[in-house]
């Protein structure tokens, strides 16, 4: 038996309600409680709106919009161009070569300028056709047609190509992807760089120029170790983390997508990145299907195909292609079958033990996976509701209740909290899946805390959904709207507190439980 230095069930209640007291000193978690939060400060009820800088969970980060990224990129190009006395297109190539690090460009350039020039494809040539008469013709190196000097465009290396051939070459390179940022002269043996000025001059359409610019902009983030793009759908923001301590990498983007900066998966507190990777791999692994087959089926003794029993008798007949008839219990040939008394008992016990263990494993995985997936779906639905609230329903509610939309911020705050709680609840099921069966006291505390937080979340969502709907359906202002206002603010604050305490407890390994012994795991 497992021993603890206190009663785990009592401890769970004491821990949970002492945590809840932070927001509900007078028992506000009760269904019948009077929701009066007028005495609470507004900043205690609500988080601040998304801002450029965020601090929390021991780490601070900065959200960069696309315009901010572009400005940083242009500032870096201007600095390198000024310090090294090179044109801006050349500065752009240098920065891309050194992962957009101004300091690395300066260090490399001043240590070995000739080596850097050679590596990036800078060639010190004057215009190769300046001495040729305008009436002369130069043969294009690709199509081999003759052109006047004004219609031939070399990359600074002297290899002649016409506008049309350049256009096809550039279009193909850009459509192939970001590799176009290191484009070189079409001559196979030449390493001369093709800079942005040439792209702007010779690209066949605005679409190619736009794609090139987008690749260039995204490269600033993709090659920067301190900044990453938000992986949210259609989001164009990036997050920059400050150096410093703390274990959390969670980022909340203004698009309401929360993600882990470290692994770019959905934000997954209270579980770590490795656990998330293991869980995702498990969900993709066909071994789970194989275990289900092992637990729920038996192989045909003749063709070895797995067969699931779906009727009451023991007489089994395999698919028509095989047609073998056998006994479900002992797998013996049905045509020569009298009873199962002669079946080897030792083999039967081993098979039964193996099957029970597989059945238990599959049942556990199915339990946690179904709830993990369900909360992920509910999070997506809540996110869609939040978007609909911002774009449609707040305008309707403002008109019906005679309130300014700015005064209805508490509703979007509630739905944003629901989205975040669904995400956290989703990952608590992964935590539960990997929590050792040996730690019974910790498991009881875990289930209690999770259950209470989940109950609070359901209460908040019911208020934000069903109770709000009646005010949207009203024909005019309701005298109960202010009461609803206070209740929803209170529920939002309480739910936030519950989940913060739950996540903190799980991240601390449920250290409130001091285990002094362990019990054996079931077979």
Instruction: Kindly tell me if the per-residue pLDDT of 41 is higher than 60.
Output: no
What pairs with residue 325 in β-bridges? 317
Instruction: Collapse the DSSP code of 307 into the 3-class scheme (helix H, G, I; strand E, B; otherwise coil) and give the result.
Output: strand
- The phi and psi torsions of 21 (rounded to 5 degrees) equal -60, -25
Q: Binning pLDDT at 50, 70 and 90, where does residue 88 land?
A: very high
Task: Give the mean pLDDT of the chain.
Answer: 81
Compare 360 and 235 and report the one with higher pLDDT.
235
Q: Exposed, middle or buried: residue 443 (CB in 10 Å: 0-12, 13-18, 19+)?
A: middle
Please tell me the distance from the alpha carbon of residue 494 to that of residue 497, in angstroms, as a whole number: 5
Chosen CATH of 350-513 out of 3.30.590.20, 1.20.120.1750, 2.60.40.10, 3.40.50.11810: 1.20.120.1750
Spell out the long-range contacts of 102-109 with Cβ–Cβ below 8 A and sequence spacing 24 or more: 102/76, 105/80, 106/80, 109/84
Instruction: Collapse the DSSP code of 63 into the 3-class scheme (helix H, G, I; strand E, B; otherwise coil) and give the result.
Output: strand
Q: What is the CA radius of gyration of the chain?
A: 33
CATH number of 291-349: 2.20.25
Closest by CA to 35, choosing from 501, 495, 500, is 495
Its pTM stands at 0.66
Q: Which of 180, 237, 260, 313 is catalytic?
A: 313
Question: 203-213, pLDDT tens digit by residue?
Answer: 999 999 999 99
Question: 162-178, pLDDT tens digit by residue?
Answer: 999 999 999 999 999 99
Check if 313 is active-site.
yes
Question: 449-495, pLDDT tens digit by residue?
Answer: 999 999 999 999 999 998 998 888 888 888 899 999 999 999 999 99
**Cβ pair 54, 60 in contact under 8 A:** yes
DSSP assignment of 319-369:
-TTT--EEETTT--BGGG-S-STTS-HHHHHHHHHHHHHHHHHHHHHHHHH
Q: How much is the average pLDDT of 375-398?
A: 90
**Cβ pair 203, 209 in contact under 8 A:** yes
Torsion of CA 270, 275, 276, 281, to 10 degrees: -160
Closest by CA to 56, choosing from 48, 66, 64, is 48
Least confident of 83-87, 154-158, 426-430: 154-158
Strands 258-260 and 250-252: antiparallel
Instruction: Decide if 291-349 and 350-513 have a common fold.
Output: no
Question: 268-327, pLDDT tens digit by residue?
Answer: 989 999 999 999 888 877 556 666 666 677 778 888 777 877 766 778 888 878 888 888
Closest by CA to 122, choosing from 196, 184, 170, is 184
Compare 288 and 433 and report the one with higher pLDDT.
433
The DSSP output letter for 475 is S
Supply the pLDDT for residue 282: 84
Which architecture characterizes domain 106-222 according to CATH?
2-Layer Sandwich (3.30)
H or E element at residue 172 = helix 163-175
Residues in CB range of 331: below 8 A, 6 or more apart? 298, 301
Please tell me the distance from the alpha carbon of residue 166 to that of residue 168, in angstroms, as a whole number: 6
Please tell me the distance from the alpha carbon of residue 155 to that of residue 127, in angstroms, as a whole number: 10
Residues in CB range of 312: below 8 A, 6 or more apart? none
Domain ranges of the chain: 3-65+225-260, 66-105, 106-222, 291-349, 350-513
Question: 497-523, pLDDT tens digit by residue?
Answer: 999 999 999 998 888 776 444 443 443
């Amino acid at each position: 038996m497992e021993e603890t230095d206190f009663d785990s069930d009592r401890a769970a209640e004491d821990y949970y309600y002492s945590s809840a007291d932070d927001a509900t000193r007078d028992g506000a978690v009760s269904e019948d409680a009077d929701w009066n939060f007028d005495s609470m400060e507004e900043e205690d009820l609500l988080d601040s709106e998304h801002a450029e800088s965020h601090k929390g969970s021991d780490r601070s980060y900065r959200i960069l919009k696309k315009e901010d990224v572009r400005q940083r990129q242009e500032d870096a190009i201007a600095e390198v161009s000024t310090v090294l006395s090179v044109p801006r297109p050349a500065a752009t190539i240098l920065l891309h070569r050194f992962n957009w690090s101004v300091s690395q460009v300066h260090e490399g350039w001043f240590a070995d300028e000739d080596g850097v020039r050679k590596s990036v494809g800078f060639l010190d040539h004057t215009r190769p056709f300046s001495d040729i008469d305008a009436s002369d013709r130069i043969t294009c190196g690709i199509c081999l047609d003759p052109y006047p000097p004004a219609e031939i465009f070399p990359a600074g290396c002297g290899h002649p190509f016409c506008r049309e051939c350049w256009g096809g070459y550039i279009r193909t390179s850009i459509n192939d992807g970001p590799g176009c940022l290191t484009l070189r002269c079409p001559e196979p043996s030449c390493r001369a760089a093709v800079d942005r000025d040439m792209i702007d001059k010779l690209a066949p359409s605005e679409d190619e120029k736009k794609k090139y610019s987008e690749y260039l902009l995204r490269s600033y983030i993709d090659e920067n170790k301190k900044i990453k793009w938000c992986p949210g759908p259609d989001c164009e923001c990036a997050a920059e983390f400050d150096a410093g301590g703390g274990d959390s990498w969670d980022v909340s983007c203004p698009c309401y997508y929360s993600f882990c900066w470290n692994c770019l998966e959905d934000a997954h507190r209270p579980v770590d990145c490795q656990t998330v990777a293991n869980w995702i791999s498990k969900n993709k692994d066909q071994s789970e299907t194989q275990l289900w087959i092992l637990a729920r089926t038996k192989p045909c003794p003749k063709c070895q195909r797995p067969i699931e029993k779906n009727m009451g008798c023991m007489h089994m007949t395999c698919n028509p292609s095989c047609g073998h008839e056998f006994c479900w219990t002992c797998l013996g040939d049905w045509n020569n079958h009298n009873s199962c008394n002669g079946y080897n008992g030792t083999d039967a016990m081993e098979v039964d033990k193996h099957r029970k263990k597989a059945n238990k494993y599959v049942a556990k995985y199915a339990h946690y996976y179904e709830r993990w997936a369900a909360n992920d779906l509910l999070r997506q639905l809540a996110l869609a509701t939040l978007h609909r609230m911002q774009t449609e329903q707040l305008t309707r509610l403002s008109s019906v209740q005679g309130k300014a939309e700015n005064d209805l911020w508490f509703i979007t705050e509630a739905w944003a909290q629901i989205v975040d709680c669904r995400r956290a609840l989703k990952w608590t099921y992964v935590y539960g899946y990997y929590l050792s069966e040996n730690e019974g006291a910790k498991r009881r505390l875990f289930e209690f805390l999770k259950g209470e937080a989940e109950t609070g979340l359901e209460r908040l969502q019911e208020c934000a959904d069903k109770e709000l709907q009646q005010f949207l359906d009203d024909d005019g202002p309701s005298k109960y709207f202010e009461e609803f206002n206070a209740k929803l603010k209170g529920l939002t604050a309480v739910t936030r507190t519950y989940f913060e305490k739950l996540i903190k407890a799980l991240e601390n390994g449920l250290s409130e439980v001091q285990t002094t012994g362990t019990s054996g795991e079931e077979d």
